[in-house]
Chain A
Amino acid sequence: MTATPPATTPPADSRRRGVRRTRPRSWALLLIYGFLTVVTLLSLLPTVWVMLSSFKTGPQVYSGKGFFPSPATFQGYIDAFTEIHLHTYVLNTLLYATCGTIGAVTVAFLAAYPLARYAFLGKNFLVAMFALALAIPLVGLATPVFFVVRELGMFDSRIGLVIFYSALEFPFSFIVMRSFLLSLPTEVEEAALMDGAGYFTTLRRIILPLSRPAIATVCVVAFVKIWNEFFFANLLTVTQSNHNVQLALAGFKSQFGYNVTGAMAGATIIMLVPIALFLLLQRQVVAGLTAGAVK
């Protein structure tokens, strides 16, 4: 997997092998690895420390002694479910993230197709407007969003949050999906239309299967973003049974007083979901995020 310059260099180029691109000398390699190791250790140190601490006993955490748990215990994890009722929040968040993602991606797909394929009045304006939604710090709109959600009767309701998250993740999904569709050749769908397939048949039978890579990318990114969302969840729900995991997490801080390992165990579980998704679907996540930023 070490992607050094291609092994299949044409024979004519073999003379140039001596000047292959950026093959650092050994002292430079040492420096590079040193630098990378420091950065890598730094990036994970606090998180790994908390994750390891979740297996410690309360007294060991408070003593501040030892990086590794000794003795190791699962009590924190047991407490996270029995005392903090983590499963309620996990189930809520799964609902928000799953349904919100499906909503956002469906709506984005339906909008991206005509805006990628057809020319009509106001098309560029619409695309620019959807893109603009990505370019404003949405927290500035907090109060009006709350007001709209309340007027629609969706305040403090699970369905309301699902619909809101669909809207929140729509612009990003739309941009990524549209730029994917623009890069897709049109021959197959034109043939299908010629053969008498209707608009929605073509969309479902031809475009949907072809768009699978883009849809996968957008789904993963939207899911992780909704899973991690705190601000609007805090704004739009009050009942504890409607809270998502991030709100529960904020509540953990007050748990430090009496059950620090339970809080740490809960935090670990909540962090592991996006990490696991990222490790499994790394290419999708990275492609999605870079596409969103650059396109």
Chain B
Amino acid sequence: MLPALVLFALFFLVPLVVLAVTAFSRWGGVDFAFTGLDNYRRLFSDPVFWKAAGNTLFYCGASMVIQVPLGVAVGMTLAMKVPGWKVFRTIIFIPFVISGAAYALVFSMFYNPSYGLLNNLLAPVTGGQHDWLFDSGTARWAVAGTFVFIIGFVVVVVIAEVAAIPTELLEAAEVDGASLIQRQLFIVLPLLRNIIGTVILVRLLVDIGMFDLVFILTSGGPDNATTTLALYAYRAYVQGQWGYANAAGSVILILGATLIVTVRRAFRIGERAL
């Protein structure tokens, strides 16, 4: 019990307290002065901060629009357990165990304007070489596009949840003449509400703190078109403006808490860890 408390206090509680105090100060590790709300005033008047916040929310939205529906659709399909479903489940899950850093490397090659696979595949259509990651019009979308591939977690959780639905429900519906699609849409899908909420929570946590993928793929560029809040806070930290970095960090935590409470309310998630 004691080691757990020590570890937890050192790496979770103390940092939280330090953050809460120093977010209202000018602090570079040694020098320290309380400056009240100055950090937040500076934060909210910095256009780059708003860009970072907008991008972070954009990635959250992209997850909700791309990853969750696609993952739920694939999960529901696999849950019908057609022959060979386990093979599909395994392959679809694989990208989820690959690290963000590796994924960033893979996609920086995939999107490469001169030899990247995407441009070669699209060449017959577009006829040209497009630099997806260095065109501020497409960079955000190119980063969010990588989400399509990481649906494995959603899929697996949905399969497990569908398996827990009593068969009687579906059999009764079938006797009543409901088609396959009707059964999926009107019986299975509504019963998945809780788990969809949970999956959204898990994704949001990842997206709000999104760092490594963007850091390696674009370093936030071009012209901050892909910068996230985590990257913004990190830059301030690297420049030695620790107090300011912590003010930005507190925005990440507060945004996370807000989104999580909202989603929990919306999906009426009860006694769960997240």
Contact of B180 among A22, A163, A252 (CB under 8 A): A22
Contact flags (1/0) for B142-156 with A, using CB distance below 8 Å?
000000110111001
Say yes or no: B83 contacts A2, CB within 8 Å. Answer: yes
Known A-B contacts A2-B81, A2-B84, A286-B156; the reply to A230 vs B183 at CB < 8 A is no
Q: Determine the distance from Cα of A4 to Cα of B84 in the docked complex, in whole angstroms.
A: 11
Say yes or no: B274 contacts A44, CB within 8 Å. Answer: no
Say yes or no: B109 contacts A143, CB within 8 Å. Answer: no
Q: Determine the distance from Cα of A61 to Cα of B83 in the docked complex, in whole angstroms.
A: 38
Residues in A100-129 with C-beta less than 8 Å from chain B:
106-108, 110-111, 114-115, 129
Residues in A219-248 with C-beta less than 8 Å from chain B:
224, 227-231, 246-247
Q: Determine the distance from Cα of A3 to Cα of B160 in the docked complex, in whole angstroms.
A: 13
Q: Determine the distance from Cα of A140 to Cα of B152 in the docked complex, in whole angstroms.
A: 26
Say yes or no: B195 contacts A294, CB within 8 Å. Answer: yes
Q: With an 8 A cutoff between CB atoms, is A12 at the interface?
A: no
Tell me whether chain B's interface is mostly helix, strand or loop, or mixed: helix
Say yes or no: A168 contacts B11, CB within 8 Å. Answer: yes
Say yes or no: A230 contacts B15, CB within 8 Å. Answer: no
Q: With an 8 A cutoff between CB atoms, is B107 at the interface?
A: yes
Q: With an 8 A cutoff between CB atoms, is B138 at the interface?
A: no
Contact of A49 among B22, B110, B246 (CB under 8 A): B110
Q: With an 8 A cutoff between CB atoms, is A33 at the interface?
A: yes
Known A-B contacts A271-B98, A293-B198; the reply to A107 vs B7 at CB < 8 A is yes
CB distance from A75 to the nearest CB of B (A): 17
Find chain A residues with CB under 8 A from B38 CB: none
Known A-B contacts A19-B175, A250-B216, A295-B272; the reply to A39 vs B74 at CB < 8 A is yes
Find chain B residues with CB under 8 A from A21 CB: 167, 170-171, 174
Known A-B contacts A45-B117, A49-B117, A64-B115; the reply to A129 vs B256 at CB < 8 A is no
Residues in B220-269 with C-beta less than 8 Å from chain A:
230, 233-234, 237, 242, 245-246, 249-253, 256-257, 260
Contact of B212 among A230, A252, A274 (CB under 8 A): A230
Q: With an 8 A cutoff between CB atoms, is A170 at the interface?
A: yes
B86, B212, B215, B257 interface centre (most CB from chain A within 10 Å): B212
Say yes or no: B109 contacts A167, CB within 8 Å. Answer: no
Known A-B contacts A107-B3, A111-B1, A135-B260; the reply to A142 vs B249 at CB < 8 A is yes
Q: With an 8 A cutoff between CB atoms, is B199 at the interface?
A: yes
Number of interface residues of A (CB under 8 A): 102
CB distance from B57 to the nearest CB of A (A): 13
Residues in B1-23 with C-beta less than 8 Å from chain A:
1, 3-5, 7-8, 10-12, 14-16, 18-19, 22
Find chain A residues with CB under 8 A from B125 CB: none
Say yes or no: B237 contacts A224, CB within 8 Å. Answer: no
A-B contact pairs, 21 of them (CB 8 A): A2-B81, A3-B81, A35-B73, A36-B88, A42-B149, A47-B98, A53-B109, A67-B117, A110-B1, A133-B8, A135-B201, A135-B274, A141-B253, A143-B237, A168-B11, A271-B98, A275-B98, A277-B97, A278-B93, A289-B157, A293-B274
Residues on A facing B (Cβ under 8 Å)? 1-5, 16, 19-22, 24-25, 28-29, 32-33, 35-36, 39-40, 42-47, 49-50, 53, 61-64, 67, 106-108, 110-111, 114-115, 129-131, 133-148, 152, 163-164, 166-168, 170-171, 174-175, 224, 227-231, 246-247, 249-250, 252-253, 256, 263-264, 267, 270-271, 274-275, 277-279, 282, 285-286, 289-290, 292-295
Having A137-B208, A250-B215, one finds 20 other A-B pairs with CB under 8 Å, namely A2-B84, A22-B180, A24-B180, A39-B151, A62-B115, A64-B115, A107-B4, A129-B8, A137-B230, A140-B209, A142-B230, A143-B249, A144-B249, A147-B242, A148-B18, A168-B11, A230-B212, A250-B101, A286-B93, A289-B153
Residues on B facing A (Cβ under 8 Å)? 1, 3-5, 7-8, 10-12, 14-16, 18-19, 22, 29, 70, 73-74, 77-78, 80-86, 88, 90-95, 97-102, 104-110, 114-117, 119-120, 148-149, 151-153, 156-157, 160, 167, 170-171, 174-175, 180, 183, 195, 198-199, 201-202, 205-206, 208-209, 211-212, 215-216, 230, 233-234, 237, 242, 245-246, 249-253, 256-257, 260, 272-274
Closest 3 CB pairs of A and B: A137-B209, A228-B99, A144-B15
